[in-house]
Amino acid sequence: MPVIPCTMTYNSITSTIAAAAAIVALYLVWKQPKPNIRETDEAYYYYDTTTVVHHHNAAQIIRTIVDTVHIPIPPNVDTAAILRSYFTLTHHSDTIRDSSITAIVSDTIGFNRLLSRSFSYQITRPTVIQKKRPRVLIGINSDLLGRVEPTLSYAPDPRWLIHLGYSPTQNSPKIGFSYVLVYQ
């Protein structure tokens, strides 16, 4: 079998591979897709990016696709006003009122982003404070004949009273019930 002499060296092989890679790279750059631009009276910026937003839920995955945004550019642009607006801090406040609450959401915006947010509220419903009424009462009963008797009362409910007493003149215990007709 005849031996064929190889005249290529290591440096010539790497140079050939580098040249082929450069030709492929130039071809890919030349064949890069161009955005679809229509000829109109207004100038447009085309943002040809596709954003895929995934919302994960336990039951399902919702997929929303947001695509090309077209923004018309006005012919006369005041760059100083745009820069002034960018560097200006603005404060925005939103008040939400209901019959029982007033809520205030305050935002500070600057440099094209939300810098701070605060939330405050005030309850506008009147607060009712109920005083605790005593549940066990000690007192005395008297009648038109001048008899005075000690009494112990118990209130299981604010409208009901149970009276227990003792009459020393008759030498006997007494029991009574009361119901409050007007309750505040």
Q: What is the pLDDT of residues 72-111, one digit of tens each?
A: 877 788 889 889 989 999 998 999 988 888 999 999 999 9
| Phi, psi values for residue 64, rounded to 5° | -115, 130
Q: Do the domain assignments include residue 117?
A: yes
Looking at the domain assignment, is residue 11 inside a domain? no
Residues 155, 137 contacting (CB under 8 angstroms): yes
Whether residue 175 is found in the same domain as residue 141: yes
- DSSP per-residue letters across 67-80: --EEEEEPSS--HH
Range of the domain at 146: 136-179
Whether 145 is covered by a domain: the verdict is yes
- Greatest Cα pair distance in the chain: 152
pTM above 0.75, yes or no: no
Give yes or no: residues 105 and 143 share one domain.
no
Is the CB of residue 103 less than 8 Å from the CB of residue 96? yes
In a domain, 157, yes or no: yes
Cβ proximity of 163 and 178 under 8 Å: yes
Beta bridge partners of 163: 153, 176
Q: Residues 119, 142: one domain?
A: no
User: What does the alpha-carbon distance between residue 164 and residue 141 come to, in Å, rounded to a whole number?
Assistant: 11
Kindly state the percentage of the chain with pLDDT values over 70. Answer: 70
Count of the separate structural domains present in the chain: 2
Mean confidence (pLDDT) of the chain: 76
Residue 35 identity (one-letter amino acid): P
Instruction: Assess if residue 161 is contained within a domain.
Output: yes
What is the pLDDT at residue 42?
47
Q: Tell whether the model's pLDDT for residue 61 goes beyond 50.
A: yes
Cα 180 to Cα 164: distance, rounded to the nearest angstrom: 17
- Sign of the four-CA dihedral 131, 135, 138, 142: positive
71: nearest Cα among 34, 46, 35, 40: 46
Compare 27 and 103 and report the one with higher pLDDT.
103
Would 152 be classed as within a structural domain?
yes
Q: Residue 151, SS3?
A: strand
- Looking at residue 44, what is its pLDDT? 45
Q: What is the DSSP letter of 181?
A: S
Is-contact 140 123, C-beta < 8 A? no
Q: Give yes or no: residues 144 and 119 share one domain.
A: no
> Band of the pLDDT at 39, cuts 50, 70, 90?
very low
Looking at residue 45, what is its pLDDT?
46
Would 23 be classed as within a structural domain? no
pLDDT for 142 equals: 83
* Residue 66 lies inside a defined structural domain of this protein: no
Spatial distance between the Cα atoms of 174 and 147, rounded to a whole number of angstroms: 14
Residues 144 and 111 in one domain: no
pLDDT digits over 128-179, tens only? 777 776 688 888 888 888 888 888 888 888 788 888 888 888 888 888 888 8
